[in-house]
Chain A
Amino acid sequence: MADDKNVGRRQLFAAKVRSLMLRLLVVWFVVSFGFGILLVEPLNEIRVGGYKLGFWFAQQGSIFIFIALIFGFSSVMTRLERDYADSERETEK
Chain B
Amino acid sequence: MSLTLLTYLVVGSTFALYIGIAIATRASSTKDFYIADGGVHPVANGMATAADWMSAASFISMAGLIALSYNGYGGSVFLMGWTGGYVLLALLIAPYLRKYGKYTVPDFIGERYYSDTARVVAVICLVLCSVTYVIGQMKGVGVAFSRFLETDYETGLGIGMFIVFFYAVLGGMKGITYTQIAQYVVLITAYTIPAIFISLQLTGNPFPQLGLGSTLAGSDVYLLDKLDMILVDLGFQEYTTTLRGSTLNMLAFTASLMIGTAGLPHVIIRFFTVPSVAAARRSAGWALVFIAILYTTAPAIAAMARLNIVDTMQQSDGQALLIEEKPAWFENWERTGLLKVEDLNGDGRIEYTADPETNELTKLDNDILVLANPEIAQLPNWVIALVAAGGLAAALSTAAGLLLAISSAISHDLLKSTYMPSISDKAELRASRVAMAVAVLGAGYLGLNPPGFAAGTVALAFGLAASSLFPALLMGIFARGVNREGAVAGMLAGISVTLLYVFQHKGIMFIPGTSFLGNMSPNWFFGIEPNAFGVVGALVNFVVAFGVSRLSAPPPKEVAELLDFLHEPSTLSTKASSVTAN
Contacts and interface: CB of A to CB of B under 8 A. Distances in A.
B289 interface: yes
A52 B240 CA distance: 8
A14 interface: yes
Contact of A50 (B215, B289, B299): B215
Interface string B384-417: 0000000000000000000000000000000000
Nearest to B285: A70
A77 B76 contact: no
B174 to A, nearest CB: 25
B247 A37 contact: yes
Contacts of A67: 285, 288-289, 292
Contacts of B76: 36-37, 55, 58-59
Interface string B79-100: 1100110111011100100000
A55 B284 CA distance: 26
Contact of A49 (B75, B83, B222, B568): B222
Classify the interface of chain B: helix, strand, loop or mixed: helix
A60 B84 contact: no
Contacts of A46: none
Contact of A74 (B92, B281, B295, B296): B281
A55 B299 CA distance: 11
A84 B224 CA distance: 51
**Which has the most chain A C-beta neighbours within 10 Å: B92, B240, B567, B572?**
B240
A48 B292 contact: no
Given A37-B247, A37-B254, A71 B79 contact: no
Interface in B544-572: 567-572
Interface string A33-77: 100111011001000111110011011101110110111011001
Contacts of B572: 85
**Interface size classification for chain B:** 35 or more
Classify the interface of chain A: helix, strand, loop or mixed: helix
Given A13-B569, A52-B240, A66-B84, A32 B285 contact: no
A63 B214 contact: no
B148 interface: no
A21 B92 contact: yes
B348 interface: no
B223 interface: yes
B250 A37 contact: yes
B569 to A, nearest CB: 4
Nearest to B280: A74
A52 to B, nearest CB: 6
**Which has the most chain B C-beta neighbours within 10 Å: A14, A55, A78, A85?**
A55
B225 interface: yes
B240 A33 contact: no
B213 interface: yes
Interface of A: 10, 13-14, 17, 21, 24-25, 28, 32-33, 36-38, 40-41, 44, 48-52, 55-56, 58-60, 62-64, 66-67, 69-71, 73-74, 77-78, 80-82, 84-85
The 7 A-B residue pairs with the shortest CB-CB distance in the complex, in nearest-first order:
A50-B222, A58-B76, A70-B285, A51-B213, A74-B281, A49-B213, A59-B299
